[in-house]
Structure 1
Amino acid sequence: MKTPLIKELLASPADSRAVAVSGWVRTKRESKNLVFLQVSDGSCFSPIQLAFDRSGAANAALERQLPRVTTGASVRATGRLVPSPAAGQVAEIALETLEVLGEAPADSYPLQKKGHSFEFLRENAHLRARTNTFGAVARVRSQLSFAVHSFFQERGFQYFSAPIITASDAEGAGEMFQVTTLSLEKLAEAGVLAGAKGKRPETAAELVRYEKDFFGRRTSLTVSGQLAGETYAAALSRIYTFGPTFRAENSNTARHIAEFWMIEPEMSFYDLDDDAALAEEFIKYLLNWALDKCAEDMRFFDERIKRELMNSDVSREGNAQVFDARSRRGLIDTLRGVADSPFQRVTYTEAVAELEKNRDSFEFKPFWGCDLQSEHEKYLTEQTYRKPVIVTDYPKEIKAFYMKLNGDGKTVRALDVLVPGLGEIIGGSQREEDCGALLSRMTECGLSPDDYWWYLDLRRFGTVPHSGFGLGFERLLMYVTGMTNIRDVIPYPRAPRQADF
C-alpha cells in the first residue's frame, strides 16, 4: 500500500480512519503512561505526532520497539488519525503498530536533538536536509525551480540547454575551470626532461599540445549560457536557460561558490525597456510564488531571521551588512514590499549623483565610472528611493563587450535590478546587434574575433535587436530565505578545497 505523505495527512480530516505513515524520528518523549514521537518525512515543515498509552497490555509490541526509536531512526507506523489536543497541531496518529526500518544510534548519529552550527552541518551535508532549516531550504528551492519554468513557459519562451563545456569565455574574466584529458603527470615529466635539455621557462607552454587533447583545443566549464542562448534566440525568438555554471574564483567567502545555477533568458526584438519590464515581472512572480506556495517554510524563515538578529553580537554593533532591511521589517514584509512595489528606474549617472550627495557615508567613495558596490546599491534601495531600483546605462569600461553602445560613446545599454536588503539581484543588457560595432568592442577588450566567429555570424546573417539578463539562482534563494551564506542554499557546495561528495 502506498504510504501517504505527512503533508497529505495533516491537510486531511482527523476522522479516526486508519492511516499509515513513514518517516524519520525527530524526537521521542516518554512519561509514565504516554509516549510521543515526532516523525517527519520532509514533505512539509511540520512533523506529525504519534502517540500511544503505554499502560495497555495491547501495546507490548510497541514497547519492545521503543529502545530502537532514537532521533534519526526511520520508522513505518499505522494507527488512527485523530484530532490532537496539543497546541499548534490539528491532528496526530493514535499509534497501533510501529516498525523500525533503520536505526540511528545516539552515540554515532551526528544530528542529535540540539542546536548545530551551519559550519558543522556543512561538514555533514549528506544529512543536513533532515534539519528544519535545510529541509525548508530544499523545499523552497524545489518550488522556485518549478516557478522559473512556469514563468517562462506561460510567456511563450522555449527552454534551452546551454552547453557546459565551452571554448568561449562569455564574461571575458578568464576565471574558468579548464577541461582536459591531458595527463598533468606526463606534462610535468616532459617539463623536467625539457628543462634538463636547456629549454627556457618562457617557452614551456609549447609543451602543451592541445591538438592531442580530447576536444583538440583549450576548453573550459562555462561561466554563462548567454552566448549560446543568443544563437537559439536568433531562431526561436524567446528562450531561457536554467542550468549549472562555474567560476574558478579563489574566494572563500559567504557570497562566492564555484558551481552555481543561472537563469538566463534571451529575447529577440526586445530593447532595454522591454528587458527591464520582463526582469521586474520575473522577480515579482518568483517572490509571490514563494510567499504563496511556501507559506509554512517562509514563516519559519521569517521567525528565524528575527531570532538570529536578537542573538547576533554583530547586529547589536549596528553592522549594516547584517539582515539590513529584512531585519527591520521582517523577511516576509520585505519580500511582499518588493513584490507589490513599482520598480524605480534611474540611469547610472543619476544614481551616482544621488550617492555623491552622501559621499562620506560610504567606505568606497562613489564617483562616475566606479563599479557600484553593495553598500551603494543598498543605499539607493533603502535610503534614496526606498523601493526596488533598476539602474541603466553604465560606463562601457565596467561592462562586458557584448553590450550595446549608447550614442554618447561612453555608456552601454546595461541594467542592474537592485532590491532592498540585498542590492543587485539581476544583471542584463541590450546586446550589440551591429557586427562592426561588436568587432570594435572586442578589439578594445583584447578578444580575438576568431574565437567568436559563430557569435559574429549572428550579426552577419539576419541580425535583430535583442536583450537578456541573468539571475543567479542561489543568490535569489539567499534573498528569499534570509540565509546569509550561499553554501547553505545549494545541496552540495563547491568551493576552494571543498568537493568531497
Structure 2
Amino acid sequence: MFNLISRNPYFNRSHSSFIRLKSTLIPRLSDLISNPPSFNQSLRVRGWVNKTRKHKKTSFINISDGSLSLWVQIVVDNDLVDPDLLKNLKIGCSIEVEGYLEDPNSENSFNSKIENTSIVCSKNGVGLIGSVDNDYPLANFRLLNDYIRSLPTLKHRTGRVASLFRLRSALDYRLHEFFQKENFIKTNPPLITTSNCEGGSEIFQIEKTLDAKPKLSHFFKDDSYLTVSTQLHLEALSMGLGNVWTFSPSFRAEESDTRRHLSEFWMLEAEMAFITDVRQLTDFCEKMLKYLARTIVENKTDQFMILDDLFGDHSRRTDEEKESALAAINKVHSLEKFPVVTYTQAIKILENSSEDFKFGKPQWGDDLKSEHEKYLCEKVYDSPVFVINYPKKLKPFYMSVNSDNNTVACFDLLVPGVGEIIGGSIREENYDLLKAEITRRKMKAKDLEWYLDLRRFGSVPHGGFGLGFDRLIRYFGAAGNIRDVIPFPRVQGKCPA
C-alpha cells in the first residue's frame, strides 16, 4: 500500500506552520457586521451613499457597498470635515471613510442596534471617490419596479434587486458544494453546437460577417448554433466519467415577452450513468433542492446573509414578496416528500376541476399550459410537485419510451408562483430504437451520428436533468419577473448594454 501523502514534506507539516496570508483588500461591510473589530479601533470602509442627514453640528451618512442589504451609518462632526465636501455629497456617489466603530452601549452612542452600526468619522476622514450628476436616475428613494428594470446598468444598486443577486451568488456556491459532496465531476461542454438538442426551431444560428459587410458566411464547416442545452455533450462525457454536471448559459430564440422567459438564461445540467428509473432522478432533484433550503434555514451564516437580506427592512421588498419567499424556502425544507403524479393523473385532476382556465381544460395528449401547471402546484398540492411520464409526442427524441409505448420516462418539477423549473428523463441507450425515433421524426440523422455512436461503444442506461437557475432564484426569492433576477436580461427586441 502506497502512502503518497507521506512522500510530500508539505503534508507532514503541522497546520500552524503554514503561512497565513492577510487579505490586501479593504474589509467589506459584511465583514464589519459579521466579524466586527474592537470598538474604537481604527478602520477604513468604502461604499456608495444611499442617504444623508445634515444637521448643524453633526451629519449622518448611510453607505452600503453591495455585500449585504444593511447599511452602515457614518457619524461626522461637521467641524472636522471639509464643508464643501459635505454639501456636495449626494445619493449614489462613492466615498471612502476613515474612523472607528462606535460602541452602541456607550453613553453618547447614536444607535443601539447592530444593524444600524455606526462609524465615527476621524478628522478629514471622508473622501469623495466618485461624484454623481444631478440626473442620477436612482436619486429618488421609492422607485417603481418597471422603471428599475429599464436601468440594466444601475438596477443592482437598488436594495431589492441587489438582494436577489446576492441570493443568486449564495445558491450558485451551494450548488457547487452539493455536487462536490455527491462526487460529481464538473465539466464544460461547448456552447457552440451543430446539434439541435430539443429539435425545435427556436435557435440562434452562428454566421460570420465578411469585412464588416452584410454578406454572411459559415465560420464552421456545418451549420452551427448557440446551444439550447448541453445535454447531448454531457451524455458523451458521462460515458466514461460517470456522473457529470455543468453550469452555463443557454440560448433560445423564443418570441415570448413574458415574466417567465429569457433568450439567454443559465442552466444547471447533470447526467448520471447506470440509472434506469425516472424516480431516481426525481429523488436526486428533491435532495438537491432540500440541501439548498436546509443550508439557508439552518446555517447561521446563510441565515444572516440570505434570510435577513431577503426579508429585512433594508431589502425594500413588499410584505407579500417576503411572505412568498419565506413560504417557498420553508416548504421545501419541511416537506417530508415532494408529491409525484403521472401526466395521466394530472390530466384527470384538471378535467375534474371547477377552475375556469383561459386555455380550457387539457385532454390527454395536450401539453400543459402555465395556468395548468400553476393550478396543480398551487391549488391542488400547495407545494412543489413532480409530473412524470408525459406522452412521447410532447417530448424530444432522446427519451426512453415506457412499456406502454405511449409515454416516456421523464419528469417536470412544478413549483408555486413559477411553474416548471426542472425537466429531465431517462435517455434511450439502445442504438436501433434511438435511430428509429430519429428517422420517424424526420430529423437529420447525419448531424447526430456522433450521438448515435455513443450507443455502439459501451452504452449504459443513463439519465439526467436541467434546472433553470433563473427560475429557481425567482422561486426562492419570490421575484414576480424573471428579468429581476439576472443582470442584463436578453429578450426578443431588447439587448441593452
Per the TM alignment, residue 36 of structure 1 is displaced from its structure 2 partner at its CA by 0.3
Counterpart residue identity of residue 355, structure 1: L
Higher mean alpha-carbon deviation, 255-264 vs 125-134, is at: 125-134
Task: Give the Cα–Cα distance (whole angstroms) in 2 for the partners of residues 309 and 20 of structure 1.
Answer: 33
1:10–1:90 CA contact under 8 A, matched in 2: no
Identity of aligned residues (%): 37
The 3-state SS of whatever aligns with 1:19 is: strand
Q: 1:354 to 1:307 in 2, by over 3 A?
A: farther
- Residue 479 of structure 1 aligns with an amino acid whose one-letter code is Y
Aligned counterparts of 1:393 and 1:380: Cα–Cα separation in 2: 16
Where in structure 2 are the equivalents of 1:16-415 lying within 5 Å? 16-54=40-78, 57=79, 59=80, 61-84=81-104, 85-86=110-111, 88=113, 89=115, 91-96=117-122, 97-105=125-133, 107-183=134-210, 213-271=218-276, 272-291=278-297, 292=299, 293=302, 295-299=304-308, 301-302=310-311, 330-341=324-335, 342-358=337-353, 360-363=355-358, 364-415=360-411
* Whole-Å separation in 2 of the counterparts to 1:495 and 1:399: 24
What amino acid is the match of 1:50? I
Cα distance, 1:43 vs structure 2: 1.1
Deviation at 1:66, TM superposition (A): 0.5
Closer, same or farther in 2 for the Cα pair 1:309/1:16, shift >3 Å? closer
TM-superposed CA distance for 1:242, in Å, is 0.5
- Determine helix, strand or coil for the equivalent of 1:260: strand
Letter in 2 for 1:145: D
Whole-Å separation in 2 of the counterparts to 1:19 and 1:297: 26
Distance in 2 of aligned mates of 1:381 and 1:255: 16
Q: Summarize the Cα distance change of 1:300–1:153 in structure 2 as closer, same or farther, 3 Å threshold.
A: closer
**Counterpart amino acid of residue 49 in structure 1:** Q
Residue identity matched to 1:123: S
Structure 1 counterpart of 2:30: 7
Q: Secondary structure at the match of 1:252?
A: coil
| Cα-to-partner distance string for 1:121-176 (whole Å, 9 max, x where unaligned) | 23321122211112212211111111121111111111111111111100011211
Contact 2:206-2:218 at 8 Å conserved across structures: no
Change (3 A) 1:448 1:27: same
SS of residue in 2 equivalent to 1:274: helix
Q: Which amino acid aligns with 2:26?
A: T
How far residue 45 of structure 1 moved from its aligned partner, in angstroms, is: 1.0
- Going from structure 1 to structure 2, the CA distance change for 1:290 and 1:71 (only over 3 Å counts) comes to same
Equivalent residues of 2:346, 2:387 under 8 A apart: yes
Pair 1:72–1:223, CA change in 2 (3 A): same
Task: Give the Cα–Cα distance (whole angstroms) in 2 for the partners of residues 87 and 81 of structure 1.
Answer: 13
* TM-score (normalizing by structure 1): 0.86
Note if contact 2:159-2:316 (Cα within 8 Å) is conserved in structure 1: no
One-letter identity of the residue aligned with 1:140? L
Partner of 2:419: 423
**Post-superposition offset of 1:255:** 1.5
Higher deviation after alignment, 354-363 or 335-344: 354-363
Shift of 1:35: 0.6
Indicate the residue corresponding to 2:21 in structure 1: none
Question: Does the Cα contact within 8 Å between 1:359 and 1:366 map onto a contact in 2?
Answer: no
Look up the SS of the partner of 2:175 in the other structure: helix
* Counterpart amino acid of residue 292 in structure 2: L
Q: What is the deviation of 1:223?
A: 0.4
CA distance in 2, matches of 1:294, 1:488: 22
Structure 1 unmatched runs, 5+: 189-207, 311-322
Change (3 A) 1:237 1:499: same
Where in structure 2 are there 5+ consecutive unaligned residues? 1-23, 105-109
Q: Give the match's secondary structure for 2:436.
A: helix
Q: Deviations over 1:55-107 (max 9, x none)?
A: xx4x1x343420231111111111110134436435311111111111113x1
Closer, same or farther: CA 380–254 of 1 in aligned 2, 3 Å: closer
Corresponding letter in the other structure for 2:469: F
Aligned equivalent of 1:203: none
Distance 2:409 2:421 in 1: 18
| Separation in structure 2 between the aligned mates of residue 186 and residue 128 of structure 1, nearest angstrom | 35
Q: 1:302 to 1:18 in 2, by over 3 A?
A: closer
User: What SS is found at the alignment partner of 2:389?
Assistant: strand
Letter of the aligned partner of 2:327 in structure 1?
D
**1: CA distance, partners of 2:208 / 2:338:** 48
Q: Which is worse superposed, 164-173 or 25-34?
A: 25-34
| Compared CA separation, residues 496 and 421, structure 1 to 2 (3 A) | closer
Secondary structure of the residue that 2:225 maps to in structure 1? Answer: strand
Q: Residues 355-381 of structure 1: CA distance to partner in whole angstroms, max 9, x if unpaired?
A: 221155423312211212222222222
- SS at structure 2 position matched to 1:400: coil
Per the normalisation by structure 2, the TM-score is 0.86
1:453 equivalenced with 2:458 (yes/no): no
Cα distance between partner residues in 2 of 1:71 and 1:288:
37
Q: Give the letter aligned to residue 195 of structure 2.
A: S
Moved more, 262-271 or 283-292: 283-292
Q: Is the 8 A contact 2:269 2:464 kept in 1?
A: yes
Q: 1:50 deviation in Å?
A: 0.4
1:182–1:300: structure 2 CA closer, same or farther, 3 Å change rule?
closer
SS in 2 for 1:29: strand
- Find the residue that maps to 1:140 and give its secondary structure: helix
Deviation at 1:108, TM superposition (A): 2.3
Distance 1:366 1:2 in 2: 58
SS of residue matched to 1:459: coil
SS at the partner of 1:394? coil
Q: CA, structure 1 residues 380+468, in 2 after alignment: closer, same or farther (shift >3 Å)?
A: same
Determine which of 492, 496, 500 is the counterpart of 2:496: 500
Q: Which string of whole-angstrom CA distances, capped at 9 and with x for unpartnered residues, describes residues 319-360 of structure 1?
A: xxxx7xx78x53212321122211112211122222221155
